Structure 1
């Protein structure tokens, strides 16, 4: 990942700016080997041990910043600044190193490999594909590859890695103590950022429509579409007419703001005006008669988790999902419907419709 103190990257165009991020490392003076060195020595650079330790701390805080930028699928960090502050109190002395920068997404560099021209083959392309073949033959899990390999896969733009990425989506490292596999997984998920947007959108939306995904894969795709702003209203409407998991991701997509709205986008929004969007999410519970000793004959509704609830209860007493299957704190159809309606009102005021 490119990290620079400047506000631009020579030869690259920035397509998106994220909110600034920060990383902190606090160190005590007792970690240094020459404790007797003076405060002036520390900042004057006369102590080799201090200088070495400070380089290590600088590297650590910068790496932390990179990891946070990669977690939101940024390609680079600009405007990097690193500050050192003294923290003193109760007879102890510590230093806090703070790194601040702005994550950015870079536009893909147009590179059209010359597969064949005048009986010549592009050597770089062949080299990449040979390496890809070796990786695919040996891949077992995210843990089986190193960070450099993960970077190569993510930035290669090679479609043959697509099945590997979907396999990686089904690996769960969220609760592990070792962050290395999770970090490599986050790098792999940036694979779609290095494909043309049209290709990335087609792959992700088609996978959702086909419905052959695990819950974990659906979760990953949802996060990728959201963080990379892969918004396509036409394909999102198709998701509304698909399986329940696809419909819920479509709901999330319609809650996001687009950079630009085409006439087709506006027409789709108009078609979902009023309560049209919410109608795609009806109640999915079963209403049945209770068989309990003291409530026999009374109507109850059975949640997808198997728990039965009184008919007038809005949420399940066991899993807290409502009658449409939404968790208590999840994004609801009526919330997104309100966003869509308000968006249409603003567009109408602008005289676009």
Structure 2
């Protein structure tokens, strides 16, 4: 949410010239037109003004002559991800946030001048060999395999960027230079990328011990680099913070149908029969948030997987909570998963 939206407010009787000055000074390419009670009555962009000037409208004319009186808006509690979806679907660079008709903020597509951003570090595991995807991974690290027209890792990165995250750490081991050459320092995406190289595989938890000392002292996202999902990361972080958790594990509902009739008995007596029952389980989705305390507890070059690290936390009676993922989720671990991803990506907003 832009914190400069107060600078782009206008009254409908102010001139087009004044609107141009407001738009130019704020560098947001939009001005919000309000009434005396700060209710939104329209928006005006540099494009609106340009089109009307061509038609002969003078710069001294009131801005109400050129404003859009039925602008697209969003509620004040809209997530960054949903706001971006709305802007992209409408071809907009910004949308005003309103509550009961009053302007309370502004979301911008490129976050120029602000936007809802998070300093929380995002740690992406991208060092695996991708053994089950051979021969595709013989000469290409799994994170660089393309789903649609983008590498898997770029899709993961963009999902976090669209939610307002900007501090990224990527753990590498196999074909490291290919990943570094593609993503660089993150400047292409206007984010910060730092690489953590595992000389020997340390497991998903052990890589935490290699993070530099200047990592922001905030809850950290950790995600496997082969997960394709449109989960709302802002909501996951909000949930973690509200729970004041030591760690949050994202889980996915998994159902399994037993292919036979299941019999329950006592001694020699049948007491219940179920024909091909469906069992439901929560499975690990490969997405976590860990507290700074938990992150710092992992010593350098210690091999440990995240499930083992979390089990240790549970034994210490630390709060480890789970966040059910109801949105799309796919672990691209096998050839059949990779083929499915190619079909799924067509209808996904990723």
TM-score (structure 2 length as normaliser): 0.24
Higher RCO (CA < 8 A, seq sep 6+) = 2
Q: Greater Rg, structure 1 or structure 2? A: 1
- Name the structure with the higher strand share: 2
TM-score (structure 1 length as normaliser): 0.24
